[in-house]
Amino acid sequence: MLTLCIGVLIGTLLNTGVKAARESVAPGATPLTIPAPSVIQNSFSQLAKQLEPSVVNISSEYIPKASVTQNRNQSRRPLRIVPQDPDDQGGDQQQDQGGMEDFLRRFFNNPNGPQMPQESQRGASLGSGFVVSSNGYILTNNHVVERANRIRVKFNGDQTEYDAKVIGTDWQTDLAVIKIDRTNLIPVRMGNSDSIQVGDWAIAIGSPFGFQETVTAGIISAKSRDIPGDSTTFQHFLQTDAAINPGNSGGPLLNINGEVIGINTQIASRSGGYQGIGFAMPSNTAVKVYNQIIKTGKVTRGSIGISFQANTAQIRELLKAYGAKNGVFVSHVEPGGPAEKAGLREQDIITEINGQKIQTGNDLIDVVADTPIGQSIRIDYLRDGKPAQTEVTIADRSKVFPKEPGAPETSDDNGNGGGDEATQARFGISIQNLNDKLKQNMGVKENGVVVQSVEPGSFAEDMGLVQGDVITQLNRKPITSVDQFKSIQSQLHTGDAVALRVLRSAGGGRQGGGEWQTLYLAGTVPAAGQ
């Protein structure tokens, strides 16, 4: 009885204490419940699911070269400045001279910002792209993949990284076509960008700052937007307020039907991040570029060999002074070009092409650039206020203007990496015979071949080969010469195993007297192995 009484007393005290505690924390509160999941239907979520298999993340690696990197950066101009707002009086005048300055950044950069790596460092860039063909063709921005030694593509939900190769690029529209070795992909549906109206919905999908499959929405803010100070003449953007950030470059801009109407390319921003103004290359331009690249590997545009000034208020006054209401004022005629051969001169005003009125320089460029090389067009123009007409044969723009301002420069480096005696071999290496004199200088006692250079991003680099290594065996077969090494290589195919026996200087150098370590490196020959 005593034990029972004690138990009842303890239970009462505990229950009273718990009840008091509950009442003291949240008197009158009732527990919340989680309802059963339900699907909320909306167009944006459907588009996200529809495009998920088609939008990819693109990462590229490159070894910068000082001269080429600098020249290309200047030509591509990743940092642009919009003219200053005269109404703004604030800001630090010692920093970019103050004022309302918007910075237009192309998104080759990494999440840490647009700074360029030093020459000795390896660079990396992140971007986006989208599948346009089931057999592995992908459309993206040129600045995402240019200079890249290796390009890798990832799909959402798939950790596999697929090596990609560049099919062709076009720096003037900042577009590129790459391909991966994969089939049965789901391509996007291309739309007609000419049908888009200001105020229409716009949805951007990409990998901003590396966050894959990010979806943002907004509207089309403007069409045919030209960037102030842009040296290129084929970029007339769709403007949108859908959030676009570094890493979105090359990703699709969609209409409400899930059709691609643009390729996200630039933003206007003081900070380098989203501030409500993004620019996308219209899909109709992208389709034309893509079709040329997959056919010839490059883009060829027509030209008549003239230069003109932008259509400004001053130019309109100039046209008026020369007796014209509309047209393109010719400021320069390229010597030996089609226009000169047809009799056009400086100060002529082009008013029509094949009966189509020409209001601005963009009108002229759009017609001429799309006309096949070798075809003739009829040009109506004014000279000294009097109408005239001539036939002009379209020529290749790259030949008419071989040193066009803004064109990327190429490197003269042939990449032989090791002097006259080095020989390029598969796997991305150049090698040299290890003769008696070289063996003595290096302090090597075995036979083999010396690795003179290793191509960044190559199969050889993946295996771990470095410059100065001595390869003594390939797949357990002794190596005594470059010819023997290449002969064994020629028998290897995609998917075959590769095993190397390598001597490497313990000091990391090639001077004689050093200690040499034996290493065994291995890998599997990739598709289209280097």
Residues annotated as catalytic are 143, 174, 249
| Spatial distance between the Cα atoms of 497 and 522, rounded to a whole number of angstroms | 7
Give the tokens for residue 348: 């002529």
Strands (E), 241-323: 252-254, 259-269, 278-282, 302-303, 306-308
Residue type, 26: A
Residue type, 225: R
Sign of CA dihedral 489, 494, 499, 504: positive
| Spatial distance between the Cα atoms of 262 and 249, rounded to a whole number of angstroms | 11
| Spatial distance between the Cα atoms of 376 and 389, rounded to a whole number of angstroms | 13
Give the tokens for residue 334: 């390229």
Give the tokens for residue 17: 């204490």
3-class state of residue 363 by DSSP: helix
Q: Compute CA 419 distance to the chain's CA centroid, rounded to the nearest angstrom.
A: 33
Residues pairing with 303 in the sheet: 395
Sign of CA dihedral 393, 394, 396, 401: positive
Torsion of CA 162, 165, 171, 175, to 10 degrees: -50
Strands (E), 92-136: 103-106, 123-131
Contact 245, 264 (CB under 8 A): no
Contact 185, 131 (CB under 8 A): yes
Q: Which of 499, 418, 482, 485 is nearest to 453 (CA)?
A: 418
